[in-house]
Amino acid sequence: VNVVHSQGKSMIVIIGGRSYIALGQRTTEKWNSVVDCMPHIFLVEPEFGCCTSYTLPEFQNGFSFHLSLVQNDIIYIIGGHSLENDIRPPNFYKIKIDLPLGSPAVSCAILPGGISVSSAIMTQIREKEFVVVGGYHSNNQKRMVCNTINLEDNKIEIVEKEAPEWTPDIKHCKIWFGSNMGNGSILFVIPGDNRQLTSDANYFYILKCQGENDQSLEQMAQVCSQSSTEDAGES
């Protein structure tokens, strides 16, 4: 979900995602199965709640777990996972949404230089510079490299950067997830069973991305390690 701004107006934009299969297609074995949503763009007018869908020829398949970046009336879509084909194509779309007095105008362009990734995390380190970390290349392969995204003069560029010195725990774990904490910091979590220790524990790490001139990434540092089943008063 994103919000674009054009000509003094705002619009909520929904792209991608998954949904449960249609009720008439469900069986006991796949009752909670999900499918890719139709490759449509939905515009929601925030004041009255009106929703309009748009079909773009550039969108051939549904996708989810992608990155999105907004600059005024433009949304950039990066990466994502297609459940139907089980692939992570290097999607890189530039979607422009004009909001004149009449109906919105939606256009899309496919850009070169995309990256193949799903479930990555993005954090902002400068006004027009972002860092992309984490995610997956495939179901069994984490994405250990990092990228920076630069927005200058209505142009966008994705550049691979040197990855931080991941700890052995993170290198060898099969699952990782996390969230942008803001101010160039990213929280990573790995389940305890990845470390072959207490299976009901989660281990937390913070990656701090530099905002200084060297544009480097600080070394990954563990800041918290607490069992998810511990009582907060005993921690």
Q: What are the tens digits of pLDDT across the range 34-72?
A: 999 999 999 999 988 899 999 999 998 899 999 999 999
51 lies in the same domain as 123 = no
Is residue 200 in some structural domain? yes
23 lies in the same domain as 75 = yes
Is residue 8 in some structural domain? yes
**What are 20-39's pLDDT values in tens digits?**
998 888 888 888 899 999 99
> What's the domain range around 136?
119-212
Residue in the block written with tokens 């530039």: 94
Q: Count the domains in the chain.
A: 2
Q: Which helix (H) or strand (E) holds 191?
A: strand 185-191
Helix (H, G, I), strand (E, B) or coil at 176: coil
Of 91, 116, 141, the position where a domain reaches its end is: 116
The whole-model pTM stands at 0.84
Residue 42 β-bridge partners: 14, 53
17 lies in the same domain as 112 = yes
38 lies in the same domain as 107 = yes
149 lies in the same domain as 89 = no
